Amino acid sequence: MIIGRHMTHTIRLFGILNCTEDSFSDGGQFLEAEAAIRHARALAAGGAHVIDVGAASSRPDAREVATEIEIARLGPVVHALQRLGLATSVDSFSPAVQRWALGQNVQFLNDVRGFPDPSLYPALAASAAQLIVMFSAEGAGAATRIDVPDGQIIERIEAFFDARLAAFKAAGIARERLILDPGMGYFLGTRPETSFRVLHELGRLKARFGLPVLISLSRKLFVRNLAHVSVQDAGPATLAGELFAAMKGADMIRTHEPAPLHQALSVWQALAGYVPPAD
């Protein structure tokens, strides 16, 4: 999807599929495989290019999920998506689950810790999966509540990606397979201003690293607080934030509701590309 006469990048939409008990926005709704597969179909019909499946929540205070349970939740859903021909991403920060996902030949791996475990790197290097490398201010595991001044956040993100990219290069992981996610919400700290700062500086991050950038702000607390709405009513507020991210250069947007964003980008594309006839 192309937006803006001077914005020629294509936006790919990742539909969020939480096969979890306690995700902040829809925990428990898609825990059963049949419900999850139905929802995946709906996400794809709404415009999602990739289905991002997670089976363990990364929100603050989330319950730990054993590896065998995470894989048991993912297995039937991932296999069904593959049979349906839907591009699939597995969202997990467990190296054991990531190894399993690589064995299923998923197209994307999404790690909120940014793949910190060097013992996994040979398997990553040998695979064809694209890797979504996310920054987290905490540096490990699920999101936590820590304070990071917004004036420090871009430098911390750049230092993190510098270190990760160097490690990946040394391990033989092809740079062109990498997607950068600078994080949003609690992954950047407790201050909403850190998320504002990162969104405004997307162009700087893209220019610095020359890699595609994914943004995931769907229904997050800082968005809901700006609009004074609940999770259930956060659709318009989320859409506004996602359109701003697209305008600032996001290449990929991970969202709970791809249909409104797909529609909005389609209209934007048509309006931006319209050239009035000469009088």
**Residue pLDDT, tens place only, 257-274:** 999 999 999 999 889 888
Q: How buried is 183 (Cβ within 10 angstroms: 0-12 exposed, 13-18 middle, 19+ buried)?
A: buried
Cα angle for residues 251, 254, 258 (degrees, 5° grid): 100
Find which of 6-15, 19-28, 30-39 is predicted with most confidence, using mean pLDDT. Answer: 30-39
In this prediction, residues 85-105 reach a mean pLDDT of: 96
Quote the crossing angle between the two packed helices 235-247 and 258-273, to the nearest 10°: 40
Name the residue among 73, 81, 83, 113 with its Cα closest to residue 95: 113
Beta bridge partners of 181: 134
Report the alpha-carbon distance of residue 71 to residue 241 in Å, rounded: 32
pLDDT band at 62 (very low <50, low <70, confident <90, very high): low
Q: Can you give the pLDDT at residue 7? A: 46
Task: Count the Cβ atoms, other than its own, within 10 Å of residue 15.
Answer: 27
pLDDT band at 8 (very low <50, low <70, confident <90, very high): very low
**Picking from 5-19, 94-108, 150-164, 205-219, which range would have the lowest pLDDT averaged per residue?**
5-19
Q: Once rounded to an integer, what is the mean pLDDT over residues 39-49?
A: 97
The matching CATH number, chosen from 3.40.50.300, 3.20.20.20, 1.20.960.40, 1.10.357.10, for 12-273 is 3.20.20.20
Three-class SS state of 259: helix
pLDDT in tens, 102-152: 999 999 999 999 999 999 999 999 999 999 999 988 765 555 556 666 678
Tell me the pairing of strands 178-181 and 108-111: unpaired
Cβ-contact 43, 51 below 8 angstroms: yes
Question: Residues 100, 127: contact at Cβ < 8 Å?
Answer: no
User: Over the chain, what is the mean pLDDT?
Assistant: 89
